[in-house]
A and B are shown apart, each in its own frame.
Chain A
Amino acid sequence: MCLAFPGKIVALKNQQATADFDGVKKDINISLVPDVAVGDFVIVHAGFAISQLSTEDAWEVLKEYEKGTKMNHV
């Protein structure tokens, strides 16, 4: 339902930032994620960054989950 795409913040100015999506650059609005910095990855929906991406990979989570060391239900 909500098409969103990951991009890397390459420049910042007030509530506007430039994000790089695999070589395609676009100015985006970052007012919903006020704490982002250059170099961070964000997910962008309809021209707005909606959240910051962490490097945590679900595959890793899955492995830990199976070992019983980390429950990923909330």
Chain B
Amino acid sequence: MTISLDYGGGGAKSSELIKQVRKILGGAGKWQNSGDDSASLALSKINLSKKACQNQHLLLTTDAFIVDPIFFPGGDIGKIAVCGTINDLAVMGARPLGISLSIVVEEGFPKADFLKIIKSIAKVSKEAGVPIVTGDTKVTEKGKLDKIEITTAGIGMAEKVINNAGAQVGDVVIASGDLGEHTVALLSERFGYRSRVSSDCKPIDKEMLAIGKFVHAAKDPTRGGLAANLVEMAEKSKVKIVLDENFLPYKKETIALGGLLGIDIFSFASEGRFLATVSEKDAAKVLRILKKFNAQAKIIGKVQKPVRRRGGGIYLQTKLGSLRPIEMPNGKLIPRIC
């Protein structure tokens, strides 16, 4: 069975689908959703004293998800949408409170695939304890969209807001695990490679919260990978970041795929990892905590004084002993033959 235009038309088929989706997604947690136009949350339900309220920040994030292929080793577009939203909040130090979900489907999309995606959303939302509190579904005419697109918004609360501009000279840079495996999964699926590596897609809120008080700057290296996200961090923090080639956070399969396709692995995306800088004295403690979540967590580099002329920037200390710049990647990941 496929999804026809009727499913988004607001009529009987629409409400039948919405009912089905709501049933799969389960309740809205502490939120109130009467099937009306918005969901509401009574602040009294999140157990805040008046004093605590003064130190709290509300964080709002939004993201649109298009993924090719929709299903890949280790996840699907639905899982990414929820993880991506939770992670955007978590990496800024917030405890996620709820997510809104808006789905646009191309006419003719298989209904079984649609429900599979919803189930995947429900699973990760339940596991993370972050409810989907409101949502919307629309159907476009065939050819006006490539299969499915998901837009989310997430709301969270933080006592200390972490951003990517706080890296300090003398900090160490920690990766919460091996990077780039989401891109490995997608590229493998697209170009016919097989390996044990699957997408690293998962929520990182628990890990982030566990070390939040030590973190000076953090970023989840999604689109643009380590390269884009650390270059941005170095620029905003006005520091130089130097990585050590002997401690790069990549599996041998990731390095091989990058070599085979001629794509720089520093631009490979992760959907369940973060990069954080902490002061050197806290590094061992932080690493001990992170290793409970992922044994591959490690220190990958250090934050140094910026070079006067070039400002920020990130560099790789190579095995040969040279220092070379790592650059901002330039867009789409296209395989090279030369």
A residues lining the B interface (CB < 8 Å): 1-3, 5, 21-27, 44-46
B260 contacts A5, CB within 8 Å? Answer: yes
| Interfacial chain A residues near B260, Cβ < 8 Å | 5, 21, 24, 26, 44
Q: Decide: A5 and B253 in contact? CB cutoff 8 A.
A: no
Q: Are A24 and B338 interface neighbours, CB within 8 A? A: no
B256 and A21 contacting across the interface, CB-CB below 8 Å? yes
Q: Which residue of A lies closest to B194 (CB)?
A: A25
Bound CA–CA A26/B257 (angstroms): 10
Smallest CB–CB gap between A10 and chain B, Å? Answer: 11
Is A23 within 8 A of B337, CB to CB? no
Chain B interface residue number, banded: 10 to 19
Bound CA–CA A74/B252 (angstroms):
36
Tell me if B192 counts as interface (CB < 8 A to partner A): yes
- Residues of chain B having any CB pair with chain A under 8 Å: 188, 192-197, 251-253, 255-257, 259-260, 262, 336-338
A-B contact count (CB 8 A): 44
Report the minimal beta-carbon distance from B338 to chain A, rounded to whole angstroms.
5
| Nearest chain A CB to B189 CB, angstrom units | 13
The smallest C-beta distance from A50 to any residue of chain B, in angstroms, reads 12
Asked if residues A26 and B194 are in contact (CB atoms below 8 Å), the reply is yes
Are B257 and A24 in contact, CB atoms less than 8 angstroms apart? yes
- Taking the closest CB of chain B, its distance from the CB of A48, in whole angstroms, is 11
Contact of B253 with A24 in the complex, beta carbons under 8 Å: yes
User: Please, which residues of chain B bring their CB within 8 A of the CB of A23?
Assistant: 195-197, 251-253, 256
Considering the complex, give the chain A residue whose CB is closest to the CB of B260.
A5
B residues near A24, Cβ cutoff 8 Å: 188, 193-195, 253, 256-257, 260
Contact (Cβ within 8 A) B193 A45: no
Contact of B192 among A3, A5, A27, A44 (CB under 8 A): A27
Given A22-B256, A23-B252, A26-B192, list of 20 further CB < 8 A pairs? A1-B338, A2-B337, A2-B338, A3-B262, A3-B336, A5-B259, A5-B260, A23-B196, A23-B197, A23-B253, A23-B256, A24-B188, A24-B193, A24-B195, A24-B253, A24-B256, A24-B260, A26-B194, A26-B260, A27-B192
